[in-house]
Amino acid sequence: MATERLVVIGGDAAGMSAASQARRLKGPDELEIVAFERGHFSSYSACGIPYWVGGDVPERDDLIARTPAEHRERGIGLRTRTEATEIDVAGQRVRSRDLESGTDAWTGFDKLVIATGARPVRPALPGMDAPGVHGVQTLDDGQELLDTLARTSGRRAVIVGAGYIGVEMAEAFIKRGYEVTVLNRGEQPMATLDPDMGRLVHRAMDDMGITTVRGAAVTKILTGGDGRVSAVATESGSYPADVVVLGIGVEPETTLAGAAGLPLGVHGGLLTDLAMRVRGHGNIWAGGDCVEVLDLVSGRERHIALGTHANKHGQIIGSNVGGGYATFPGVVGTAVSKVCDLEIARTGLREKDARAVGLQYVTTTIESTNSAGYYPGATMMTVKMLAERRSGRLLGVQIVGGEGAAKRVDIAAVALTAGMTVEQMTALDLGYAPPFSPVWDPILVAARKAVTAVRGAG
Amino acid sequence: MATERLVVIGGDAAGMSAASQARRLKGPDELEIVAFERGHFSSYSACGIPYWVGGDVPERDDLIARTPAEHRERGIGLRTRTEATEIDVAGQRVRSRDLESGTDAWTGFDKLVIATGARPVRPALPGMDAPGVHGVQTLDDGQELLDTLARTSGRRAVIVGAGYIGVEMAEAFIKRGYEVTVLNRGEQPMATLDPDMGRLVHRAMDDMGITTVRGAAVTKILTGGDGRVSAVATESGSYPADVVVLGIGVEPETTLAGAAGLPLGVHGGLLTDLAMRVRGHGNIWAGGDCVEVLDLVSGRERHIALGTHANKHGQIIGSNVGGGYATFPGVVGTAVSKVCDLEIARTGLREKDARAVGLQYVTTTIESTNSAGYYPGATMMTVKMLAERRSGRLLGVQIVGGEGAAKRVDIAAVALTAGMTVEQMTALDLGYAPPFSPVWDPILVAARKAVTAVRGAG
C-alpha cells in the first residue's frame, strides 16, 4: 500500500506531465496517483486544434500524446469524465462527480496538483449558447465544432476575436473553403503586438481574403428558425454566420481554487512560488493555464495560456512532488503564430507594457529578407525592437513576415533572459549562410539601429 | 584637400564595409579613401558562389552588393585589378601594381586597413594548376569555373574536401545533373562537427547520390591529352573527373602583412586588439578572413573565414577609423550550412576543442521533430550538446537535420555568449506553436538531457 496519495485535478499538459514525472521518481508503492479530468481525453495538444479543424492534421488522435489508458498502464489513476467540484484544503480532500453516473465522492490527498487550465471568455450576450457557436479550448470543443461543420452546408464562418486563436481559426476556415469574417473589437488584429505591427497582420489577412472588421463589439448572436446561429450582431452591423468561433481569449479556470480560498492574482490565476507551490500551501501545487507567471522583463505577474509553459510547469511540479528539486524562474513572453503564410512572433514588452511599468524606451523597426536577398524564395520580415532608454537593455522584439520569421524571436528571447543590451546583441555570432540569413541577420540589423536610437535619445 | 588618407587593401566585405562606414563618418574633405582590389569585383557574397554555380542564383551580378562604380560614386577611390604588393609600415605607404598595365606605384597612408581575405589551400601536388581544377574563393574563381563548365561536356565532378565549401559545391553539382564524388581526407564529412554528427551528414549524402570517399588523400591530378584534368589520384585509387573543385579549406592571405613584419598568430592570421587594430600598430586595422578572432568559449584565437564576421569587422574598423568607437568581442564559432535538404549547424566547442583547452565535459544527443510531430511536413533533427562537467556551463551545440534545424543553433549561440548553464537553458521561453516547434523545443529537450548528464557525471 502506498504511503502517500497525490491527487491531480486536470488531465492535460500540466496535470499529466506532473503525474508522469512524479511517477518516474516514485513507484506505486510509495505514491498513489489519482487524477480527475472532466473531458474524454488526456495529454492532448490544444494548440493543435486549429490545424485539425483546418485539415492539416487528419485525425483527432494525432493530437493526443498519451491516452487515459496509456496513463493508467503507467500507474496513474486517471478518471476521465470526472469533474472535481470542490477542494477542501483543511480536510485535504477533493470532491468529484462522475459525469456519466452523476455520483459524487470525496478523495483524500497528501499532495494536490491543480491544473484546471483556462476557459474561453464567453461574454454573457444573448444567443451565446446557441448551436453553432463554438469555443476551441479543449479537444471535446474541437470535436463538437467538426461535428457541426459536418452537419452544416453553409460556408460562412464568423470568428469573434483576432488574437492567436482568432487568426489560426481564420486560417483553418480559409483552408476549408469558407468565407471568413473576423470581428475584432480593437483596431488591429493581434493585440499581443503593438498596433503598428498588428497593422501588417491586418493587411496580410486582407490579401488572403479574410475580412477583418475593426472596432466590432459583438452585441448579440442571432438565431434562425431552427434555433441555430444565423448571424453575429455588432454595434455597427450584423454578419451572417453558419458557424461562429469564439477566439476572444481565455481566462484562468480557478473557480474551484478561488472557492477553496487559495490565493489568486489580479488576472484571476493561482499564485505560486518558484517551485510552483501555491503560495502559503506546502502540499498544493498549481501549473499550466490556471496560474499566473512572473514576467522577467516587467517584473509583473501575467496570465499566459500556452502549452509549452504548461509542460514545463508539470515537469517541475512532478519533480518537486517526487522529492526532486526544480523551479520555474518565469517567462519573457515569447509567442509565435501564423496565419497562412504570414508568421507572427513577439517576446518581451510591447510599448504599452513598458509604459505600464515605468520604463522609458526607444523603438526601431526594420525590414529584412529572411535569407540572402539573392537566394531564391527569400521572403521579407519586419522586426520591431524596444530598448530601454539610457541603458540600452533589450525590452522586446516583434516580428511579422514570411517563412523563417517567427522562430528568429528565440534569439531575442534568450537575449532578454540574459539581460543583454542591444549593443551586446550587435556582436552576437548568429548562423550565417545564404539559404538561412542575410550576412546581417534581421535581428542584428534591428539591434544596430536600436543602438543608434538609444544614443540619439540621450 | 583631404587632411588624411586612408588606404584599404582588399575590395570585398571587410575592406569595403570599413571604407563605407568611414566615409559615412568623414566626408571627402576630411578623409581621402583609396582602395586596392586585385580582382574585377567588389563587395560580393563569396558565400553565395555555390548557389550561383548550382543555378539557384541566376546571375553573377546578383551576388554583388555594390559595384566598384557605385563605391566610386560614394567617394571611395576603389581601384580594381590593382594588387597591393608591399606594405612599408615605417614609411606609411603601400606599393601596388596595375594588373592591366603592369605599372607599379607607391601610395602613402595615414591610416591603413588590411582586408586581404583568405586563399584556398592548394596542396603543392602535380597537376594542381591544370585547366579544369578550380577554387571557389572569389567571384573571379566562380566565373572561371562556370566558363569551364560551359565548355566541358563531361558530367563527372570531383570535389576535394568535405567541409562547408565541399558539401555546398556537391549540392551545386547535383543540381546541375553531375555525377559527384567528394574526396574526404578524414573519416567523416564536416570536420567542424564531431565525427558522430559528421556520420549523419555522410549517410544523408549517400542517400542524395553523392559518393563520399573516406580517407582519400589526394596525391596527384591526372591530365588527359589536351592537358586538362582527367582524374584525381589518391593513395587508394583514382577518380575520373571532368572538373575538380578544391574545397580543402582556406588560410589567411597574409603574405604582405607577414613580409611587412606585422604580427601573425598560430593560424597565420593577423592579430588585432578588440577595436580591430593590428596589435602594436596605432594606425593599421585588419579584419575579415585575414585575421584571427578570439573564441569566447575556449579563450583561444581561431581563424574563421565567414562573411558575417568580415562585415562586422568592416563596420567596426570603419567606425574607429572615422573617429567613432566600436569593438569586436569575439565569436562563439557559429556556422550553418546545408547540402540539398540537409541542414548542418554548429556553435561553440567540439569534443576535441574542449579537450584541447582542458575542459571536462558531458555530451548528450537527442532526436526531435522541428515542428509538432503531428504537423504536416515535420522533419527530424539530431541535436548534440556539450556541457562542462560540474558547472553545467554550455560548451557547444551541433545540429544535423531537415528544414528548420540549422537556425536553431542561434539559441545556443546566444546562450554561449551569455555564459548560460544547461540548467538555465531548460527554462528558456522559446517560441512554441505547432507549425514551428514541438511543445518542448529540440534545444530544450537537449538541455534537459544535458542537465541529467551533468548530474550523473558528478
pLDDT digits (tens, 9 = 90+) for A302-361: 999 999 999 999 999 999 999 999 999 999 999 999 999 999 999 999 999 999 999 999
8 Å CB contact of A375 and B48: yes
Q: Which cell goes with A74?
A: 503507467
Residue of B237, B244, B250, B31 lying closest to B145 (CA atoms)? B244
8 Å CB contact of A336 and B436: yes
Gap from B99 CA to chain A (nearest CA, Å): 30
pLDDT of residue A149: 97
Residue of B nearest to A64 (CA): B374
Q: Which residues of A touch B307 (CB under 8 A)?
A: 432, 439
8 Å CB contact of B414 and A432: no
Q: pLDDT class for B123, splitting at 50, 70, 90?
A: confident
Question: Mean per-residue pLDDT for B348-372?
Answer: 98
Q: Which residue of A304, A429, A448 to mutate against B (max B Cβ within 10 Å)? A: A429
**Sole residue written with cell 496517483:** A33
Q: pLDDT class for A120, splitting at 50, 70, 90?
A: confident
- Under 8 Å CB-to-CB from A248, ≥6 apart: which residues? A120, A121, A122, A123, A160, A161, A163, A166, A185
8 Å CB contact of B338 and A436: yes
The answer to whether B131 and B37 have CB atoms below 8 angstroms apart is no
Question: Mean per-residue pLDDT for A154-169?
Answer: 96
Amino acid at A248: I
Q: Which residues of B touch A274 (CB under 8 A)?
A: none
CA atoms B441, B442, B444, B449: torsion sign? positive
pLDDT of residue A2: 76
CA atoms A131, A135, A141, A144: torsion sign? positive
- Under 8 Å CB-to-CB from A198, ≥6 apart: which residues? A186, A187, A188, A189, A190, A191
pLDDT digits (tens, 9 = 90+) for A46-56: 999 999 999 99
Helical segments of B26-104, H only:
49-53, 68-73
8 Å CB contact of A45 and B413: no
Residue of B428, B388, B387 lying closest to B408 (CA atoms)? B428
pLDDT digits (tens, 9 = 90+) for B169-179: 999 999 999 99
Percent of chain A with pLDDT over 90: 97
pLDDT of residue B2: 76
Residue of B nearest to A333 (CA): B429
pLDDT of residue B120: 85
**Sole residue written with cell 581561431:** B302
pLDDT of residue A202: 97
B285 Rama class: left (phi>0) / alpha (psi -120 to 50) / beta = beta
pLDDT digits (tens, 9 = 90+) for B84-94: 999 999 999 99
Backbone angles phi, psi at B68, to 5 degrees: -55, -40
* pLDDT of B1 above 90: no
pLDDT of residue A1: 63
- Where b means 16+ CB within 10 Å and e means fewer, B42-78 reads bbbbbbbbbbbbbebbeebebbbbbbbeebeebebbb
Q: Which cell goes with A274?
A: 518558484
Q: Among B46, B47, B172, B395, which one carries the catalytic annotation?
A: B47
Question: Mean per-residue pLDDT for A235-264?
Answer: 96
Backbone angles phi, psi at B97, to 5 degrees: -125, 130
Percent of chain B with pLDDT over 90: 97
Helical segments of A156-291, H only:
164-175, 195-207, 255-259
Q: How many CA atoms lie within 13 A of A236 on its CB side?
A: 8
What distance in Å separates the CA atoms of residue B375 and residue B408, rounded to the nearest whole number?
A: 18
The answer to whether A140 and A21 have CB atoms below 8 angstroms apart is no
Q: Which residues of A touch B48 (CB under 8 A)?
A: 372, 374-375, 434
How many angstroms from the chain centroid is the CA of residue A135?
14
Q: Which cell goes with B231?
A: 582524374
pLDDT digits (tens, 9 = 90+) for A379-406: 999 999 999 999 999 999 999 999 999 9
The answer to whether A301 and A292 have CB atoms below 8 angstroms apart is yes
pLDDT digits (tens, 9 = 90+) for A87-117: 999 999 999 999 999 999 999 999 999 999 9
Q: Among A6, A35, A47, A200, which one carries the catalytic annotation?
A: A47
Q: Which residues of B touch A45 (CB under 8 A)?
A: 372, 374, 434, 439
Q: Which cell goes with A159?
A: 470568428
Size of interface A-B (CB pairs under 8 A): 198
8 Å CB contact of A334 and B62: no
What distance in Å separates the CA atoms of residue A141 and residue B148, rounded to the nearest whole number?
A: 64
Q: β-pairing, A394-401 with B104-108?
A: unpaired
Question: Mean per-residue pLDDT for A180-200?
Answer: 97
* pLDDT of B186 above 90: yes
- What DSSP assignment string belongs to B234-245? ETTEEEE-SEEE
Q: Which cell goes with A258?
A: 478561488
Q: Which domains does chain B possess?
A: 4-39+46-119+251-321 (3.50.50.60), 122-248 (3.50.50.60), 335-457 (3.50.50.60)
**Sole residue written with cell 516514485:** A26
What distance in Å separates the CA atoms of residue A241 and residue A251, rounded to the nearest whole number?
A: 25
- Provide the greatest CA pair distance for chain A: 70
What distance in Å separates the CA atoms of residue A222 and residue A219, rounded to the nearest whole number?
A: 10
